[in-house]
Structure 1
Amino acid sequence: MSKIQTILVAGDSHTWGQGSGGELELDSPVNGELRPLTFTCPSYVNLLRQRIGELTGSLAIEYQGKALSDLCEGNRRGQSALLDEGHRLVLPANAELYRICFQGQTESSRAEIYLDGIGRLEIDLTMPVSAHMYRFIPLLCEDGPKSLEIRCRSGSVLIYRIEAYRGPYALINAGIGSCPLNRYLTPEVWDSWITPWQPAVVIAEGNTINDWLTRESPAEYGSLLTRELEMIRSLGARPYLHTVSPILGEQAEPHSPYLYPEMVDTVRKVAAVEGVPLADTNRSMEQFLSGLPEQERPSALFCDPWHPNPRGHMLYAQALFELLTADFLFSSPAGFRENQRDP
């Protein structure tokens, strides 16, 4: 069994990284289920991964764009590396866990995946035209680091991105933009985004804003949160919760008959009832804003009324890092710097 432990961060667009600036590097606006953001943008998941890596020696490497196409003899189609039939891609370093993002095609496309030269998977990447023509493949190496090789079996294969992890911990971003819990917890999503990683820990954002926008009541939302915690525990993983940032603008109608702060308070109540460690990031952000003049508050933490800016992401990451160090990973948390970025 691999010694690496997987930490998943589950949530919606805040977890995916909206507002950190990474979404501006994409060729078109997309939800998190389409394409992950680069490790270099200062989203809270990236900042948390960086801090854990610094203190534990955990390593996360990404291959995307030119770095990925250079491994395919420089061949690209759009933002994806291109493998023609009979060609292969071999990563230069071994890892214990891989996350591969393929781009699907309407014409025939089949890929083979090898670990240490042994065939592990053959994947049909042919799919109908849609806005969601990306497919994520998780690969866990059960008995230590292994080399990764991808071969084109037929047609051509488009590889958008590869993440490689080794060391004690791998922190995986499982954020899906615009996704309320009643969708996130369906087998279609959960069994693709959470279960295959065999997580040791799942940090749940709670998808609060999107659940509020569905107009469900705090009681209905609380039931969904409780169900999410049950599903996490059924995997043998330890759950953590965090509250979601404040929002600007209307706090109820026309978006919902219920006050947004009521939904945030539901997360606190569920965490207390279920005995789940909670990072109350909403409260820490409210405290930060309360010390500022009214006219400075919108630009202090927000990139738009519903998404945090890089400083807001930094506050998310700091609160979660302190929670994990106190309860799970470390004993001496260190502070985040506002300009901190992955190398």
Structure 2
Amino acid sequence: MSQSVFLTGATGFVGSAVMRRLVADGFKVTAAVRNGAVLVENGVRTAHFDTFETADWGEQLRGVDSVVHCAARVHVMHDTETDPLAAFRKVNVEGTLHLARQAAEAGVRRFVFISSIKVNGEGTQPGKPYTADDPADPRDPYGVSKMEAEQGLRELANHMPIEVVIIRPVLVYGPGVKANFLNMMRWLDKGIPLPFGSIHNTRSLVALDNLVDLILISRVHPQAANQTFLVSDGEDLSTTQLLRRMAKALGKSARLLPIPSWILSCAANVLGKRSLSQRLCGSLSVDIDKTRSLLQWTPPVSVDSALERAAKHYMECEK
């Protein structure tokens, strides 16, 4: 008898990839989707809702082995909410705990929560990567809401018969990636000269396939119960290295101008783009030794292979 998984966020970048992998591996999948949303994956049962944090999931959770919770109110650059933290808490904290309580009451064995590296903070110092057991230090409403959801899940697991696994990804990339990663591919594809040829930071990334693989392992691995894991490709890159390898995946030459990063940072600050400067010039690296050793897990896809897959999708679907 195949195992049954309840999945949220199935229309999103990560959730849709998890759904495809689960179906390919023969799992019975129930996907929570907002009313009006359409899933095209064959064999997936849908559970529709209007308001996530008040939805009644009891019937759909019966007989389910595990929940994979990818849905969230995601980090946005220009939030129009008058109280962003309250908006994030409503979905990311209240909605998460509402689902987890119902899962525990329905007899679900394990709840896998996709959190964020923003719970750790916004950046690291050279030689001091984040670890899964570092004190939380979120700096924005999104990160705070993810931290509070983690805290609530741990408390729930202490009082109800359900195991919780928390996964904090770094920047996720892969086929269909959007936002800044897609913009970088477009710039490189068009041959636009970029002032990023002399950036010596350290960034951890995670390929979509690697994240999905860890999520599926975390569903069942006995050592994953009630643990928090960081996840990356296991190879850190500078922004300059990333752009060069991304250009190679696209079959292009990277036209990178060797502008010192301090000049870029100063210019970004003057233009009010400090957060963009941090992502391009600052460091954010993670130590995944706990993930490797406790779960006997190694990222199955290399950085270059993952970049090639993202580039192929871009060339076929995004140009």
- TM class, shorter-length: 0.3 to 0.5
Q: Which has the higher contact order (CA 8 A, sep 6+)?
A: 1
Instruction: Determine which structure has the larger strand proportion and give its number.
Output: 1
Instruction: Determine which structure has the larger helix proportion and give its number.
Output: 2
Question: Normalised by the size of structure 1, how large is the TM-score?
Answer: 0.34
